[in-house]
Amino acid sequence: MLIPKPIKKSKLCSCGSPRVLGSRFCRPCLNKDRLERANKKKERKFKTKKFIKTLEKRLFKACWALLSEIVRRKAKGKCYTCGKVNPRQETHAGHRWHHKLSLDLRHIHCQCAYCNTYQHGNLGAYERHLIEDHGIEWVKNLEKEAWAKGDNYTLEELKEIKINLENELKSL
Torsions phi, psi for 60 (to 5 deg): -60, -45
pLDDT range class, residue 162, cuts 50, 70, 90: very high
* pLDDT score recorded for residue 10: 63
* pLDDT score recorded for residue 5: 59
pTM value is 0.69
Across 127-148, average pLDDT: 90
* pLDDT score recorded for residue 9: 53
Q: Give residues with Cβ within 8 angstroms of 33, minimum separation 6.
A: 25
Across 137-153, average pLDDT: 87
pLDDT range class, residue 4, cuts 50, 70, 90: low
Report whether 107 contacts 129 (CB < 8 A).
no
* pLDDT score recorded for residue 33: 86
88-110 as b/e, with b when 16 or more CB fall inside 10 Å? eeebbbbbbbeebbbbbbebbbb
Q: Are strands 108-112 and 91-95 parallel, antiparallel or unpaired?
A: antiparallel
CA 166 to chain centre: 13
The domain segmentation of the chain, as residue ranges, is 49-171
Report whether 96 contacts 130 (CB < 8 A).
yes
Across 136-165, average pLDDT: 89
pLDDT per residue as tens digits for the range 49-94: 888 888 889 999 999 999 999 999 999 989 999 999 998 888 999 9
Angstrom CA distances, 137 to 50, 106, 117, 143, stand at 40, 14, 28, 10
